[in-house]
Amino acid sequence: MFLAKKWLGSLLLPLPLLLLLAGIGCLLLVAQKRRSGAGLLGLALLSLLLLSTRPVANALIRPLETQYPPYQVKEHELTSAELEVKHIIVLGAAQVADPRLPLLSQLGHAGLSRISEGVRLAHAYPEARLIVSGYAGGEGRSSAELYSLVAQELGIDATRLALVPEPKDTAEEAAAIAPMIDSEPTLLVTSASHMPRSMALFQAQGAQPIAAPVGHHAKETAGSLPLYSYLPKAHYLERSEIAWHEYLGSAWHWLTGQNTGKTAP
């Protein structure tokens, strides 16, 4: 089931999906169905073009990233809840556990930003336990193990770390970690675009963590941008893909009832 979901999810991402539609359009042109073929090919290429631009990519991802504000540690105005933070959860992200590379190079952008924020918060709340999760996914080391090594390199004592390397996705992470935190004050660290889905899944398990989003993509400058910044770029397409992935994930959880803790009929 997990592999089938991953295959389907990967095929429904913008690039493979639109390339598939473009290929079908080309086949229709070869079959002398020019109107249908040209229309499908044009639609696929235009969609790919738009998804590769800054305005469209930001419009897709911003609604996800703005649902939860950045978590601020107020050193001189700590509330009673902040003083009692017991756990800090860092959710897993894609990694390439290549021992030939420096430790930080084995984590992707999302993983780096997540564990960096987790370590920052762990230093701010020295009594809190740092829970790191994420499975290996065919790599030699799991995200949880890499996170643990990075955290220790950055000054977090190993006795404060709890590794959860078995979960393969966010739903499994929520199911495994929720019983560990019970109802104690907990910070949840993950990418800003991933936070709405993560919070829904943890809440479905009866947990009520405090969101600490990081790794925002939709960033705006105070001044006006040069016109060339609106040209299509690969990293804007990646931004659209991240947002698309989250919308697909939310739809899947809704269909299967995972975001409510129930199984769909």
Contact (Cβ atoms closer than 8 angstroms) between residue 187 and residue 209 = yes
The Cα angle at residue 180 between residues 95 and 216, in degrees rounded to 5:
40
pTM of the entire predicted model: 0.88
The answer to whether residue 17 is domain-embedded is: yes
Same domain, 99 and 196: yes
Q: What is the DSSP string of 58-117?
A: HHHHHHHHTSSPPP---TTS--HHHHT--EEEE----B---TTS-GGGGB-HHHHHHHHH
pLDDT value for 265: 34
The answer to whether residue 171 is domain-embedded is: yes
Same domain, 41 and 102: no
The answer to whether residue 210 is domain-embedded is: yes
The two three-digit tokens of residue 15, written as one number: 């690039």
The answer to whether residue 122 is domain-embedded is: yes
pLDDT value for 9: 80
Same domain, 240 and 180: no
Contact (Cβ atoms closer than 8 angstroms) between residue 132 and residue 111 = no
Residue 202: which residues within 8 A CB-CB, separation 6 or more? Answer: 174, 177, 178, 188, 208, 209
**CATH code of residue 131:** 3.40.50.620
pLDDT tens track of the chain, all 265 residues?
666 777 788 888 999 999 999 999 999 999 989 899 999 999 999 999 999 999 999 999 999 999 999 999 876 555 555 568 999 999 999 888 788 889 889 999 999 999 999 999 999 999 999 999 999 877 778 999 999 999 999 999 999 999 999 999 999 999 999 999 988 999 999 999 999 999 999 999 999 999 999 999 998 776 677 878 789 999 999 999 999 999 999 998 888 877 665 443 3
Same domain, 101 and 181: yes
Same domain, 150 and 191: yes
pLDDT value for 78: 58
The answer to whether residue 5 is domain-embedded is: no
Residue in the structure block whose two tokens are 């592999």: 3
Contact (Cβ atoms closer than 8 angstroms) between residue 35 and residue 47 = no
The answer to whether residue 156 is domain-embedded is: yes
Q: Which domain holds residue 245?
A: 11-65+233-260
Same domain, 117 and 210: yes
Question: What DSSP designation does 174 have?
Answer: H
**From its phi and psi, is residue 102 left (phi > 0), alpha (psi between -120 and 50) or beta?**
beta
Same domain, 133 and 169: yes
pLDDT value for 75: 61
pLDDT value for 205: 94
Same domain, 171 and 242: no
Same domain, 44 and 102: no
Same domain, 144 and 190: yes
Same domain, 101 and 171: yes
The answer to whether residue 225 is domain-embedded is: no
Question: What DSSP designation does 188 have?
Answer: E
The answer to whether residue 74 is domain-embedded is: no
The two three-digit tokens of residue 30, written as one number: 């070869």
**Burial class of residue 32, CB neighbours in 10 A (0-12, 13-18, 19+):** exposed
* Count of domains for the chain: 2
